[in-house]
């Protein structure tokens, strides 16, 4: 196990009706004038936004709204939001939604006190030293942004989807998590969310770090739980228990707990971010295509952890050698993804002829000549993995 510092200070307030506590939580973290950030309207239609704003008013928090954040959020909305914050003299950002809304709020939070262009943080030209506090009312378990210090934004000029990673500055102060808010999720979004959280665990699980037994077993346990609970939530969208387990799984998958002491990989996420930037696909669906291809490549180049994952998560015991066990694990993973309605090839994702040269060029332009850690991937390797996903 590697040396580490683990700092994950978000207050998670979990359970039915917890959105009514939002106002008092904003006050507790120093908010008096909040911007309420939300997406394309699901929170309006469900009545959630109204309940949250009522709670703010009861707690004496002034607020104004910034709606219309789209999935795979862009820099344009962040600029609009920073301008609004400054005009309204906001001291708090409240995100009501999923990863796209939360990430927009986080980028605004870092951008407001900064005199330069907020994109400097994403381009690696500056590091945010301070940010407005961010609170979350989570409506979809998927990205794990409610517990992460990260924000992922696409710059429209050139379609660069980049992440800002701050271990401390951008972790939300609190996250309100009512599983009943996720009953309205379409099956597709439920499945994309489950795939994303599986991927967040696997980015940590596939490590060359030795002696990571606690992290390995935590990862395997949470993956098994996601595999069990996702079909239940899809067959019965109002299954509170399944929704609750998925919601908490999404958080622990990405708040750092599962990767403590491990070198993490993240190549599959970087490769997917190029796909969602160029083709506008849902992040989880893009991962359902890229991750099995990445695993197939790894079975042939660094089989150790892929074999362990196949045995412990998918129960594969028969097989002539490590590679065939590993590949059977990948086949089980694909069958699971299909069973929840996910695509596992570019064609199934609706991209008949992906421009792989463009994806490879953008990937290495954005992320450097070598990506990932489980095996450092050069252009030849990433091309091969994209081709394995055809």
Number of helical H runs and strand E runs in the chain: 15, 8
Contact status: 100 vs ligand NZQ (CB under 6 A) = yes
Q: How far is the CB of 370 from ligand NZQ (least distance, A)?
A: 20
Binding mask 41-70 for ligand NZQ (x = CB under 6 A): xxx---------------------------
Nearer to Zn ion among residue 196 and residue 274 (C-beta): 196
- Judged by CB under 5 A, the stretch of 19-27, 114-122, 195-203, 366-374 that binds Zn ion is 195-203
Which residue from 184, 209, 324, 345 is in contact with ligand NZQ, where contact means CB under 6 A?
184
The span from the CA of 262 to the CA of 265, in Å, is 9
Which residues does residue 62 pair with via DSSP β-bridges, in sequence order?
Answer: 33
Three-state DSSP class for 6?
A: coil
**Exposure b/e, 279-307, CB count within 10 A at least 16 = b:** bebbbbbbbbbbbbbbbbbbbeeebebbb
C-alpha to C-alpha distances, 14 to 46, 175, 351, nearest whole angstrom = 19, 8, 38
Listed in sequence order, the DSSP H helices in 65-164 are 75-88, 99-111, 119-122
Is the separation of the CB atoms in 374 and 285 below 8 Å? Answer: no
Nearer to Zn ion among residue 178 and residue 196 (C-beta): 196
Nearer to ligand NZQ among residue 191 and residue 377 (C-beta): 191
The secondary structure element, H or E, covering residue 155 is: strand 150-155
# chain residues binding ligand NZQ, by CB under 6 A:
33
- Judged by CB under 6 A, the stretch of 21-29, 146-154, 299-307, 315-323 that binds ligand NZQ is 146-154
Phi and psi at 115, nearest 5°, equal -80, -20
Nearer to Zn ion among residue 195 and residue 245 (C-beta): 195
Q: Which of 18, 97, 31 minimizes the C-alpha distance to 62?
A: 31
Binding mask 15-44 for ligand NZQ (x = CB under 6 A): ------------------------xxxxx-
Q: How far is the CB of 237 from ligand NZQ (least distance, A)?
A: 10
- Judged by CB under 6 A, the stretch of 180-188, 239-247, 256-264, 323-331 that binds ligand NZQ is 180-188
Nearer to ligand NZQ among residue 32 and residue 46 (C-beta): 46
C-alpha to C-alpha distances, 110 to 136, 159, 298, nearest whole angstrom = 16, 21, 37
Contact status: 74 vs ligand NZQ (CB under 6 A) = no
Nearer to Zn ion among residue 31 and residue 284 (C-beta): 284
Q: How far is the CB of 70 from Zn ion (least distance, A)?
A: 17
The span from the CA of 238 to the CA of 244, in Å, is 11
Q: How far is the CB of 203 from ligand NZQ (least distance, A)?
A: 8
Q: How far is the CB of 283 from Zn ion (least distance, A)?
A: 6
Structure tokens at 231: 């079909």
Which residue from 196, 216, 265, 274 is in contact with Zn ion, where contact means CB under 5 A?
196
The span from the CA of 274 to the CA of 155, in Å, is 12
Nearer to ligand NZQ among residue 100 and residue 230 (C-beta): 100
Contact status: 367 vs ligand NZQ (CB under 6 A) = no
Length of the chain counted residue by residue:
390
Q: Which of 343, 98, 333, 101 minimizes the C-alpha distance to 226?
A: 333
Applying CB under 5 A, the residues found at the interface with Zn ion are 196
Applying CB under 6 A, the residues found at the interface with ligand NZQ are 39-43, 71-72, 97-101, 103, 139-140, 142-145, 148, 150-152, 181-182, 184-185, 189, 193, 196, 254, 269, 283
């Amino acid at each position: 196990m590697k040396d580490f510092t683990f700092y994950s200070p978000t207050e998670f307030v979990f359970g039915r009706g917890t959105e009514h506590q939002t106002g008092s939580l904003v006050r507790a973290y120093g908010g008096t004038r909040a911007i309420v950030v939300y997406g394309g309207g699901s929170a309006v239609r469900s009545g959630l936004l109204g309940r949250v704003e009522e709670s703010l008013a009861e707690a004496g928090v002034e607020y104004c709204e910034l709606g219309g954040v789209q999935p795979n959020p862009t820099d344009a909305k962040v600029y609009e939001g920073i301008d609004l914050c400054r005009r309204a003299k906001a001291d708090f950002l409240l995100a009501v939604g999923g990863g796209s809304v939360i990430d927009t709020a986080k980028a605004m939070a870092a951008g407001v006190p900064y005199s330069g262009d907020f994109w400097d943080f994403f381009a690696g030209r500056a590091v945010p030293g301070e940010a407005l506090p961010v609170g979350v009312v989570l409506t979809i378990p998927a990205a794990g942004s409610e517990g992460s210090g990260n924000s992922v934004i696409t710059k429209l000029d050139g379609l660069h989807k980049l992440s800002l990673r701050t271990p401390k500055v951008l972790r939300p102060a609190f996250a309100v998590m009512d599983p009943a808010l996720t009953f309205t999720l379409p099956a597709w979004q439920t499945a994309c969310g489950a795939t994303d959280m599986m991927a967040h665990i696997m980015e940590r699980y596939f490590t060359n770090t030795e002696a990571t037994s606690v992290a390995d077993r935590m990862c395997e346990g949470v993956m098994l739980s996601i595999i069990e609970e996702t079909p239940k939530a899809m067959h019965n969208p109002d299954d509170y228990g399944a929704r609750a387990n998925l919601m908490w799984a999404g958080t622990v998958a990405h708040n750092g707990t599962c990767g403590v002491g491990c070198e993490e990989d993240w190549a599959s996420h970087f490769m997917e971010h190029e796909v969602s930037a160029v083709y506008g696909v849902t992040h989880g669906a893009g991962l359902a295509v890229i991750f099995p291809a990445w695993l197939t490549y790894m079975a042939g180049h660094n089989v150790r952890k892929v074999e362990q994952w196949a045995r412990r998560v998918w129960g594969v015991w028969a097989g002539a050698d490590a590679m065939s066990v590993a590949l059977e694990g990948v086949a089980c993973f694909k069958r699971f993804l299909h069973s929840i309605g996910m695509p596992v090839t570019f064609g199934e994702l609706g991209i008949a002829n992906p421009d792989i040269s463009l994806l490879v060029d953008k990937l290495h332009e954005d992320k450097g000549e070598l990506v990932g850690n489980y095996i450092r991937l050069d252009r030849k390797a990433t091309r091969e993995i994209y081709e394995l996903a055809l």
